[in-house]
Amino acid sequence: MKPSLKNRILAYIRKQEGFVNGGELERLGESVGFKASNVSRRCRELHNEGLLERKIEKSQYSKIASVWYAATPPKEIIKYCVPSLGLKFEKRNYE
């Protein structure tokens, strides 16, 4: 079963460093069969749910604003270590 569009967007943005342009997200969504308007709607929903930060930049050269999204920081980060195997990893809790 495929993950939902919202889950795909959220996973992608959480892997990025910093803000991602909304147009880039729309193009990625279109490349896997979703409408750009659907991607934008899901991004707004994720922002309203508090899972994404959003900033809107208006250019002095264009009437069209650009929207940027970034993942909100996790509420908790749990670090694990397995010394016998030399492994270190962390779990991020967003809820």
Q: How does pLDDT run along the chain (95 residues), one tens digit per residue?
A: 778 899 999 999 999 989 999 999 999 999 989 999 999 999 999 999 999 999 998 888 878 889 999 999 888 889 999 888 889 988 888 77
pTM: 0.78
Q: Which long-range contacts does 64-69 make (Cβ < 8 Å, 24+ apart)?
A: 66/21, 66/22, 66/23, 67/21, 67/22, 67/40, 67/43, 68/19, 68/20, 68/21, 68/22, 69/13, 69/19, 69/20, 69/22, 69/25, 69/43
Fold category of 5-93 in CATH:
Arc Repressor Mutant, subunit A (1.10.10)
